[in-house]
């Protein structure tokens, strides 16, 4: 509903790119307009005591006629909305005898502040309503200024209209501004109970809004999401093709951070080796006779008939991967951004803004422009967050191999959102994801797999608190951790795009400070900072020695060198948190299978416990091998080690199949039968004399 121009980037007022904010402000403005219409048309007593002037009545009548017309014309409705908005906001009261209540906008604020039970809202909630109304007022005046500047200078237009938002005048803007000052003073001047409280002396376990969360649980959760994303990528997207020739040396990647050329990104740059893989996945899938039918039904006369169901099934898998990556990125890159900010990240330079993905210091870097004081000082701050190597590698592999195939397939089957694949980081074949969508994804993943039900905002608050307690301060003009969190002392409007001028403000010192801030958080979460560089360097030297000397090298020496390098890197961690050992063991052996998210979900459903975990890495390893259909699996586990789960869970997961269990003791047989019944698994005993013998 609000028609805000976005062509003058340096104006004092700039509309937020945040769709949810625009929607909320528009809804509040619509409520104001229809409140005025009802008050006039229903002859409310306020209309007699505080009559509308002729201009306001005429504007209200014009809006009513526009929306009730037999053939509604959008342009006519927009002009009528703009006219009534100006009539309400651009009015200076000459008489103040009746006080602020004589202002229609003030009266609407009073009505909107009353709850269903008849009581008033809390002061903090009232300030939210006022902020929306003030935003709308500025928007109306800004739009009118742009129209006026077609026939007069900017200075003349501001002289004509700026008075309606200046202090010291009896205007609608100032009437509600006074309420804002009062409500803020009350809301933030009183003491209250804290939203977050520590539950231990080591500041590891905390409670937010009554939900207990441990830092180690967050560490396990994010590592699990990374592993789940990796499984989806390898099995459901790459469809078993490993692309062994895909790889890169981080030190050799070239990214010109201040390159403002439209369409530029380090992935598409000819300076790097990613371009040769752009069509690799599509070619591989269409040349595989087992995979090709999922995407193409037939080719007739040189015309391809696409299998839309199969294509969409694959696109849904890429969406599932990106949903898991949203969580991994948001938790892993340092002080968490707001959902609306993260949603605006672009993968390459566009006409309307610069990219948000860069390569710096051997890591993938996400840069977001944010500043709450944009409306007053016309400036943004750039905030850089670095991804752990493991997360960055996954994202680079996805953007290089998968994203071009996504865009191509989505276009071939005529999906609405295919163009977004070339622009936005977070998108699917239907639409680009906004802040609301990212929040929903994070909440769902946290509810299903995380330690507690928690949304974007709650996680931001508790993560900021953990970082303040456990990470070293990095001084640079202001606290970098606060800076990375997007905090400031002022409160006004927000703007999230990045311009080419903004990149000049991101100095090398700031980049280094942001890098160290992110890296400290990576270590705290249990990511192995620097391990892959050490491993690659050592293996390169070993391979060089093998080629030159032709002497076999003891691979245990490599493991020892890598271990020493890891231990050296981890000495900087302030506290020794537990890590996910069975995950590390799974990654350390080429003969083991990664535990899929489907298996973990089935385990929790079997025990009816959302926090259920495997008893040991050996149990998890054996179970996944069985589910994957591996033959001759021998699992030797101690008493109570969970051996029975190895046949209970696959049976429950594979409905319609029969599992034969050979049990040497009658007592154990009876116990297993009772447990099968309890788990809802149909079972029967077999012996040579039973009727089941055949």
pLDDT at 534: 43
CA-wise closest residue to 260 among 351, 386, 346, 347: 351
- pLDDT beyond 90 at 311: yes
Q: Is the model more confident about 22 or about 1?
A: 22
Q: What is the pLDDT of residues 549-566, one digit of tens each?
A: 433 444 444 445 444 444
Domain finish residue from 581, 615, 646: 581
Long-range contacts of 426-431 (CB under 8 A, 24+ apart): 426/322, 426/326, 426/342, 426/343, 426/345, 428/315, 428/318, 428/319, 428/322, 429/312, 429/315, 429/319
- pLDDT beyond 50 at 168: yes
Mean pLDDT over residues 620-648, rounded? 84
Phi, psi for 386 (deg, rounded to 5): -100, 140
DSSP structure string for 307-364: -HHHHHHHHHHHHHHHHHHHHHHHHHSSSPPPHHHHTT-BSS-BTTB--SEEEETTEE
Query: Is-contact 141 67, C-beta < 8 A?
Result: no
CA-wise closest residue to 522 among 583, 573, 559: 573
- pLDDT beyond 70 at 222: yes
Confidence of residue 546 (pLDDT cuts 50, 70, 90): very low
Location of structure tokens 């790097």: 272
Top-confidence range, 48-52, 529-533, 550-554, 652-656:
48-52
Q: Do 488 and 567 belong together in one domain? A: no
Residue 255 to residue 245: CA distance in whole angstroms: 22
Percent helix, percent strand, percent coil in the chain, to nearest 5: 55, 5, 40
CA-wise closest residue to 581 among 595, 564, 569, 571: 595
CA-wise closest residue to 330 among 470, 437, 257: 437
Longest distance between any two alpha carbons in the chain, whole Å: 105
Q: Do 486 and 382 belong together in one domain? A: yes
Q: What is the CA radius of gyration of the chain?
A: 31
- pLDDT beyond 80 at 29: yes
What's the half-sphere exposure (Cβ side, CA atoms, 13 Å) at 619? 20
DSSP character at residue 388: P
pLDDT at 348: 92
pLDDT at 370: 61
Q: Do 221 and 137 belong together in one domain? A: no
Dihedral (Cα; 225, 229, 230, 236), 10-degree rounding: 150
Q: What is the pLDDT of residues 294-306, one digit of tens each?
A: 999 998 877 889 9
Helices and strands: H and E segment counts in the chain = 28, 10
Mean pLDDT over residues 140-168, rounded? 87
Q: What is the pLDDT of residues 33-49, one digit of tens each?
A: 998 998 888 887 777 78
Q: Using DSSP bridges, classify how beta strands 205-208 and 211-214 pair: parallel, antiparallel or unpaired.
A: antiparallel
- 7 in any annotated domain: no
Query: Is-contact 502 347, C-beta < 8 A?
Result: no
pLDDT at 469: 83
Q: How many other C-beta atoms lie within 10 A of the C-beta of residue 542? A: 16
Q: Do 520 and 550 belong together in one domain? A: no
Residue 687 to residue 653: CA distance in whole angstroms: 26
Per the structure, the count of domains in the chain is 4
DSSP structure string for 504-557: TTS-HHHHHHHHHHHHHHHHHHT--TTHHHHHHHHHHHHHHHHHHH-----HHH
H or E segment at 207?
strand 205-208
DSSP character at residue 436: H
Residue 542 to residue 555: CA distance in whole angstroms: 9
- pLDDT beyond 90 at 433: yes
Percent residues over pLDDT 90 in the chain? 25
Phi, psi for 117 (deg, rounded to 5): -75, -5
- pLDDT beyond 70 at 51: yes
Residue 194 to residue 668: CA distance in whole angstroms: 53
CA-wise closest residue to 321 among 247, 418, 395, 216: 395
Q: Is 350 exposed, middle or buried (0-12, 13-18, 19+ CB in 10 A)?
A: middle
Residue 350 to residue 348: CA distance in whole angstroms: 6
- pLDDT beyond 50 at 12: no
- 539 in any annotated domain: yes
- 694 in any annotated domain: no
What's the half-sphere exposure (Cβ side, CA atoms, 13 Å) at 28? 23
Q: Do 607 and 515 belong together in one domain? A: no
pLDDT at 431: 92
Name the average pLDDT for the chain.
78
Q: Do 251 and 305 belong together in one domain? A: yes
CA-wise closest residue to 148 among 136, 140, 156: 156
Q: Do 244 and 340 belong together in one domain? A: yes
Q: Do 426 and 571 belong together in one domain? A: no
Domain that holds residue 311: 211-525
Q: Using DSSP bridges, classify how beta strands 363-370 and 478-479 pair: parallel, antiparallel or unpaired.
A: unpaired
Helix axes 19-41, 104-112, angle to 10 degrees: 110
Positive/negative CA dihedral, 63, 65, 66, 67: positive
- pLDDT beyond 80 at 456: yes
Q: What is the pLDDT of residues 82-103, one digit of tens each?
A: 999 999 998 877 666 667 788 8
- pLDDT beyond 70 at 588: no
- 61 in any annotated domain: yes
Beta bridge partners of 462: none
Q: Do 558 and 651 belong together in one domain? A: no
Q: Do 569 and 599 belong together in one domain? A: no
Beta bridge partners of 206: 198, 213
pLDDT at 530: 59
- pLDDT beyond 80 at 250: no
pLDDT at 376: 40
Helix axes 389-397, 215-231, angle to 10 degrees: 30
Residue 511 to residue 517: CA distance in whole angstroms: 10
pLDDT at 249: 66
* Token reading at 348: 């390459």
- 2 in any annotated domain: no
- 81 in any annotated domain: yes
Beta bridge partners of 381: 370
- pLDDT beyond 80 at 667: no
- 381 in any annotated domain: yes
265-291 exposure pattern, b = at least 16 Cβ within 10 A, e = fewer: bbbbbeebebeebbebbbebbeeeeeb
Query: Is-contact 522 529, C-beta < 8 A?
Result: yes
Mean pLDDT over residues 534-544, rounded? 47
pLDDT at 207: 84
Query: Is-contact 85 136, C-beta < 8 A?
Result: yes
Q: Do 463 and 438 belong together in one domain? A: yes
* Token reading at 100: 């602020």
Query: C-alpha distances in angstroms, 430 versus 314, 317, 643?
Result: 14, 14, 45
pLDDT at 558: 40
Q: CA angle, 359 as apex, 354 and 360 as ends, to 5°?
A: 115
Mean pLDDT over residues 126-136, rounded? 88
Q: Do 495 and 576 belong together in one domain? A: no
- pLDDT beyond 70 at 64: yes
DSSP structure string for 159-177: HHHGGGGSTTS-SHHHHHH
* Token reading at 77: 């409705």
Residue 659 CB contacts under 8 Å (≥ 6 apart), including other chains: 647, 650, 651
- 3 in any annotated domain: no
């Amino acid at each position: 509903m609000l028609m805000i121009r976005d062509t003058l980037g340096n104006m004092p007022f700039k509309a937020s790119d945040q769709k949810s904010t625009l929607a909320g402000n528009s809804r509040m403005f619509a409520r104001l307009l229809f409140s005025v219409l009802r008050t006039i048309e229903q002859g409310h007593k306020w209309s007699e005591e505080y009559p509308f002037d002729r201009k306001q009545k005429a504007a209200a009548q014009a809006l009513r006629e526009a929306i009730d017309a037999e053939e509604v014309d959008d342009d006519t409705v927009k002009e009528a909305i703009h006219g009534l908005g100006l009539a309400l906001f651009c009015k200076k009261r000459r008489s103040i005898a009746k006080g602020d209540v004589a202002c229609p906008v003030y009266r609407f604020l009073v009505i909107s502040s009353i709850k269903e039970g008849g009581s008033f809202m809390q002061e903090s909630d009232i300030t939210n309503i006022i902020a929306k109304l003030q935003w709308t007022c500025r928007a109306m005046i800004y739009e009118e200024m742009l129209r006026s500047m077609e026939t007069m200078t900017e200075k003349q237009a501001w002289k004509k209209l700026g008075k309606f938002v200046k202090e010291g005048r009896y205007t609608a803007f100032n009437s509600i501004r006074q309420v804002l000052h009062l409500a803020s003073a009350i809301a933030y001047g009183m003491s209250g109970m804290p939203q977050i409280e520590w539950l231990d002396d080591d500041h590891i376990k905390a409670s937010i809004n009554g939900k207990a969360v441990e830092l180690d649980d967050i560490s396990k959760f994010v590592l699990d999401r990374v592993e789940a994303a990796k499984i989806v990528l390898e099995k459901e997207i790459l469809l078993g093709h490993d692309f062994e020739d895909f790889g890169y040396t981080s030190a050799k990647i070239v990214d010109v951070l201040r390159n403002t050329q439209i369409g530029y990104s380090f992935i598409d740059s000819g300076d790097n080796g990613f371009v040769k893989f752009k069509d690799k996945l599509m070619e591989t899938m269409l040349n595989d006779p087992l995979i090709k039918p999922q995407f193409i039904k037939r080719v007739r006369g040189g015309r391809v008939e696409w299998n839309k169901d199969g294509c969409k099934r694959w696109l849904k898998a890429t969406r599932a991967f990106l949903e898991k990556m949203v969580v991994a990125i948001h938790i892993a890159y340092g002080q968490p951004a707001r959902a609306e900010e993260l949603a605006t990240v672009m993968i390459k330079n566009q006409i309307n803004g610069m990219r948000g993905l860069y390569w710096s210091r051997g890591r993938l870097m996400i840069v977001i422009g944010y500043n709450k004081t944009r409306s007053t000082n016309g400036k943004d701050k750039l905030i850089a967050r670095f991804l752990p190597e493991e997360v960055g590698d996954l994202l680079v592999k996805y953007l290089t191999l998968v994203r071009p195939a996504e865009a191509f397939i989505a276009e071939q089957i005529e999906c609405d959102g295919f163009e977004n694949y070339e622009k936005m980081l977070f998108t699917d074949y239907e639409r680009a994801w906004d802040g609301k969508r990212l929040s929903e994804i994070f909440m769902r993943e946290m509810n299903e797999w995380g330690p507690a039900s928690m949304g974007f905002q709650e996680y931001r608050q508790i993560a900021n608190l953990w970082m303040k307690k456990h990470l070293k301060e990095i001084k640079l003009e202001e606290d970098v951790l606060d800076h990375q969190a997007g905090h400031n002392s002022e409160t006004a409007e927000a703007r999230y795009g990045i311009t080419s001028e903004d990149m000049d403000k991101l100095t090398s010192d700031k980049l280094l400070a942001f890098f160290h801030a992110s890296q400290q958080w990576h270590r705290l979460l249990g990511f192995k900072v620097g391990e892959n560089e050490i491993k690659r360097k050592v293996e390169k030297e070993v391979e060089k020695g093998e080629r030159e000397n032709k002497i076999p090298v003891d691979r245990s020496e490599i493991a020892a060198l890598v271990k020493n390098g890891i231990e050296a890197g981890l000495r900087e961690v302030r506290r020794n948190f537990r890590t996910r050992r069975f995950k590390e063991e799974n990654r350390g052996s080429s003969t083991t299978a990664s535990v899929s998210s489907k298996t973990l979900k089935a385990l929790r459903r079997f025990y009816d416990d959302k926090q259920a975990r495997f008893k040991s890495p050996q149990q998890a390893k054996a179970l996944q091998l069985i589910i994957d259909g591996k033959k001759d699996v021998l699992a030797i586990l101690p008493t109570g080690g969970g051996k029975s789960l190895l046949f209970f869970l696959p049976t429950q997961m594979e409905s319609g199949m029969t599992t034969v269990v050979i049990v040497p003791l009658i007592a154990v047989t009876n116990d297993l039968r009772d447990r099968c019944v309890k788990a809802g698994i149909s079972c029967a005993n077999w012996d040579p004399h039973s009727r089941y013998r055949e």
